[in-house]
């Protein structure tokens, strides 16, 4: 179903494959992001790819750019694009860096 993502993730960390979940939307603010990250609890997943704190929550487009998926992974380039990472500025605005 998510062949492109699966191929890219498998090269980075196969443990991520079991965490891919289709979603209707990605978090829209810091509270939602933290809530979804807490539910997935990525640092508790048994994997040997990276240190537990580097196995992080992500919300990205699927390989066809037609749907969104949540997953746990370390930040890795996928065909030249970095997984989105949340950054909060001092004024409270959330930006998602790629």
Give residue 78's domain range.
Answer: 3-97
Tell me: the pLDDT tens digits for 61-81? 877 888 899 999 887 655 555
Report d(CA 13, CA 50) in Å as an integer.
Answer: 8
- The number of folded domains in the chain is 1
Question: Which range among 38-47, 48-57, 77-86 shows the weakest confidence by mean pLDDT?
Answer: 77-86
- Torsion sign (Cα): 67, 26, 83, 55: negative
Residue 67 and residue 22 in contact, taking contact as beta carbons nearer than 8 Å: yes
Residues with Cβ within 8 Å of residue 67, at least 6 apart in sequence: 22, 61
- Of 31 and 74, the structure prediction assigns the larger pLDDT to 31
Judged against a pLDDT cut of 70, whether residue 28 lies above it is answered with yes
pTM score, whole prediction: 0.67
């Amino acid at each position: 179903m998510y062949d492109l993502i699966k191929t890219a993730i498998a090269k980075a960390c196969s443990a991520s494959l079991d965490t891919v979940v289709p979603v209707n939307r990605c978090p829209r603010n810091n509270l939602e992001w933290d809530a979804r990250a807490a539910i997935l609890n990525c640092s508790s997943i048994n994997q040997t790819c990276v240190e537990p704190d580097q196995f992080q929550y992500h919300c990205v487009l699927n390989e066809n750019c037609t749907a969104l998926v949540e997953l746990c992974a370390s930040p890795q380039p996928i065909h030249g694009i970095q997984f989105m990472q949340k950054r909060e500025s001092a004024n409270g605005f959330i930006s998602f860096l790629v």
